[in-house]
Chain A
Amino acid sequence: MNRSILTGQRLAAVFLLGFVLFNYPLIALFNKPAKLFDIPLLYLYIFAAWALLIGLMAWVIESRKD
């Protein structure tokens, strides 16, 4: 159960990270008409952050030992 709570806390931390990444003011930093790799910056940022969150959650879930 302790391990399970630890996993839950790690996931909650990912949630908090996501909450910060996907909200003002961080999102405003990327809200520019610029482009990176020919892709609009904001669009690229959101999908990269999104993929990062999913990767973190997958890592937390699949590496747990209970």
Chain B
Amino acid sequence: MLQGWVIASVSFAYLGVLFAIAYYGDKRADAGRSLIDNPTIYALSLAVYCTTWTFYGSVGRAASTGIGFLPIYLGPTLMAGLWWFVMLKIIRISKANRITSIADFVSSRYGKSQLLGGLVTVIAVIGIIPYISLQLKAVSNSFTILLHYPEIVMPAKAAAQPLLQDSALYIAMILAAFTILFGTRHLDATERHEGMVAAIAFESVVKLLAFLAVGIFVTYGIFSGFGDIFSRVESVPKLKSLMTVADTGASYGSWWSLTFLSMLSIMFLPRQFQIAVVENVNERHLARAIWLFPLYLLIINIFVLPIAVGGLMHFPDGSVDADTFVLTLPMAERQEALALFVFIGGLSAATGMVIVETIALSTMVCNDLVMPVLLRWKSLRLHEQHDLSGLLLSIRRWAIALILLLGYIYFRAAGEAYALVGIGLISFAAVAQFAPAIIGGIYWKGGTRQGAIAGLLAGFAVWSYTLLLPSFAKSGWLSIDFIREGLFGIALLKPQQFFGLAGLDEISHCLFWSMLANIGCYVAISLRVQPSVVETGQGTLFVDVFKRTAGAEGSRFWRGSAQVQELLPLIGRFLGPDRARASFLAYARQRGLSSIDALEANPDLVHFAENLLAGAIGGASARVMVASVVKEEPLGIDEVMNILDEASQVRAYSRQLEQKSHELEAATAELRAANERLKELDRLKDDFMSTVTHELRTPLTSIRAFSEILLEDPKIDLEERKKFLAIIVKEVERLTRLINQVLDLAKIESGNAEWHTANIDLHEVIEESVAATSSLFSDKRIGLDMALPGNVPKVRADRDRLIQVMLNLLSNAVKFCEAERGRVTVTLSAEEGEVRVDVKDNGSGIGEADQNTIFEKFRQVGDTMTAKPQGTGLGLPISRQIVEHFGGRLWVSSELGKGATFSFTLPLNGNGAERREERAEK
């Protein structure tokens, strides 16, 4: 038997633990050792998304729609994939502008408009109140059910209690007190609550464990595993249909729209914005949350369907509300402790949501609704008050109490009209209205204040008409004829079949019409109206947040004069004088100044002060307050545009500069390479010149020596003379040959050589060359074999040039063969696309090191300086040039001592020469 006092004291003990964690978290934060500076804690605190709506409601929804509960968790999973772009940008913008709530974000983006901030606040409060009442209802119901343990009594049957005996009232009061303790202990310039975040992360763990505990108990305790549960489903036709979704367009449509709706909610629910953006310690934490948060959602959903199906089988008569299965299943099995743990889990889910949501809403109500009104209310003489921070705190406390009170009133009034899940979706659809203004605002500079106001108003109106009012009608506050007949009986105005659009579920229907109206008005009005100066400036700051350095930019859109002596007391009035002095001193130190008096009241300081104030009272009010003590010279729209142009020009220039410098670097590298190449060529030219002169001098020296002998010594006999003259003639021939070859090579290399291209038969060329060199072979008695097949196709080339190549190769072969034992083989063969000629000898062979150098000019095997040269050293280079001119290749394969094979190929298509010339022309 669970006594009321047992449940109550366990609950209070649990709340006490939460408060201890929060207290410890705040202490650690004050000491500068943040407890929540950790990506895992950040991800866990994001799980405030899972409220009692998840904890109890998912099972209820699964019991009626099967897997229809899942899109609400799949949407956030998908959205997490886009967080890297979208959420990071929102966090960066919010940190740069000290934004403290979603209303502040929208109002700051559109020119710090107080009207817009107020509008967002009103929509958020109206949209979220039902959601808060849902938490109250869940806790109160679960408490009532648990109180009747071991009997299972539905709260509806427990009858409506008188006000003072209603547990929900006390729960609301306790939660209000608790939230006030948590959220408004002191006024923080950045509006961050480290202790609260730590407690929320802890609550996320508790509710997950509680849900897993009951899931495991149902799946493995009552039944024997997933397989068992699902195989029992087979026998119940009603349950079998839950395993699939209806195969109709409408059901896929509503699947899609729920996914889309939850994608927006995970971004724009005030509590998600509070935790993800405002309470974010370090934007790098977002990275892990991108996968850890969806993982949390997956884990908490695994057992939803088994519990739902198990509950439906366990209570087949429908006497037990499916929304309570999580609690009633352990109760029916007499698991006292587990039931109590589940209750605590549900309490975690509820308190987490209520605390964060009401803190977020109270900040919005205070900064964007109450303060602007109070500050305008001259008779209050707020301008003369010295310290308003107490006032701010008490406004927030009252706002928290008021929001919870409204939640309670809604709970009492709405009664049992709607299942839990219905209420949650109404709130989701309300906050989805913020999406166009925010997403548009951070990516589109053209969005204007009027556009955002029009869009929000239109979306909100459609939401109210198609979703909120019908829910009132279903609760009996309005005539049900309103839904059935339409407004004033006009069928086209039926709120859930607007303009006759039937076939959609109510959420999809509302989402479609409200988004159409919202986006339509936002875009259309934005395109029609010229934005004001402030809007343009803020728009640029928001959209280009990644391109600008934080802080330094905002002040560029302000011009005027101010006094430190006026700014400091102003900030002090809202933050408390000590905190304000400390902040200013820190600012001064950062600038390298020793005291506040040394500060100059330049635009930077004014911007700093305004940002500081924005953290406490919101951007719009901060602007009004700062404007009251400084003399601002309004900037014209032209000037703002100039500043923006200047900035974008500077960016463009710097991009151009960067590009130019890259180009210059590339050009320098090219020049350096070209220079290296030129130096190399120069060196080659010098080498060539010295080699040529050396080669010329050798024959010249012997010619001169023999000529002088002949000239000086007339007594030489005729035999000697003839011999000397023969040497002279031979050397002169050598000289002539050398000079001819040098000229030849120069011509070929410079492209001035004459070519007589014709279709020639290599067969003939080889035979002619062999005939011309036959005397060489017979002199040294070297054998010559030929393998010349008759069917080799003709090639296009210069006949004389090819003979020159062959002569060179044949004479080389003879030169390096030993007399009598030498053997040279000439082979002609047709290969694929080319004709190949091999000249093989069995001479001394060429070492691997020399195989490339012999094709260089004047390089011969062996040292030309000492040994007697056996040729000019130009034959092979010339031959290679000729063969390459006709598109062929010339190479050698050899091993030292085993002879050498010189081979060349010529392409068969015969247009190698033409191709080469064309290339040269290009």
Interface residues, chain A, with chain B CB atoms under 8 Å away? 4, 7-8, 11-12, 14-15, 18-19, 22-24, 27-28, 31-33, 35, 37-40, 42-43, 46-47, 50-51, 53-54, 57-58, 61, 64
Contacts and interface: CB of A to CB of B under 8 A. Distances in A.
B305 interface: yes
B84 interface: yes
A4 B244 CA distance: 40
Nearest to B240: A33
Contacts of A31: 244-245, 247
B298 interface: yes
A64 B259 CA distance: 28
Given A31-B244, A33-B244, A46-B67, A11 B84 contact: yes
B252 A12 contact: no
Contacts of B67: 42-43, 46
B236 to A, nearest CB: 13
Nearest to A61: B287
A18 to B, nearest CB: 5
A50 B71 CA distance: 11
B227 A11 contact: no
Q: At the interface, is chain B mostly helix, strand, loop or mixed?
A: helix
B126 interface: no
10 contacts: A12-B81, A14-B81, A23-B259, A27-B252, A33-B240, A39-B226, A42-B67, A42-B245, A46-B67, A54-B77
Given A15-B78, A15-B79, 12 more contacts: A12-B85, A23-B259, A28-B247, A33-B240, A38-B227, A42-B67, A42-B243, A47-B302, A50-B77, A53-B81, A58-B291, A58-B295
The 5 closest A-B pairs by CB, nearest first: A15-B81, A38-B227, A40-B243, A58-B291, A24-B252
B82 interface: yes
A47 B290 contact: no
B791 interface: no
Contacts of A12: 81-82, 84-85
Contact of A27 (B83, B231, B255): B255
B373 to A, nearest CB: 42
Contacts of A8: 84-85
B830 interface: no
Given A35-B230, A38-B231, A46 B70 contact: yes
B298 A42 contact: no
B288 interface: yes
B111 interface: no
Most buried by A among B233, B259, B287, B288: B287
B80 interface: yes
Nearest to A64: B287
Contact of A33 (B243, B255, B256, B298): B243
Q: At the interface, is chain A mostly helix, strand, loop or mixed?
A: helix
Interface string B606-637: 00000000000000000000000000000000
Contact of B294 (A28, A47, A53): A53
Contact of A23 (B230, B252, B295): B252
Interface in B41-88: 67, 70-71, 74, 77-85
A38 B77 CA distance: 26
B77 A18 contact: yes
A9 B81 CA distance: 9
Nearest to A18: B78
B294 A57 contact: yes
Interface in B82-115: 82-85
Contacts of A37: 227
A15 B70 CA distance: 17
A64 B226 CA distance: 37
Contact of A42 (B85, B244, B288): B244
B244 A32 contact: yes
Contacts of B77: 18, 50, 53-54
B230 A38 contact: yes
A31 B294 CA distance: 23
A10 to B, nearest CB: 9
Interface string B202-246: 000000000000000000000000110011010000001001110
Contacts of A39: 226-227, 230
A43 B305 contact: yes
A43 B77 CA distance: 17
Contacts of A23: 252, 255-256, 259
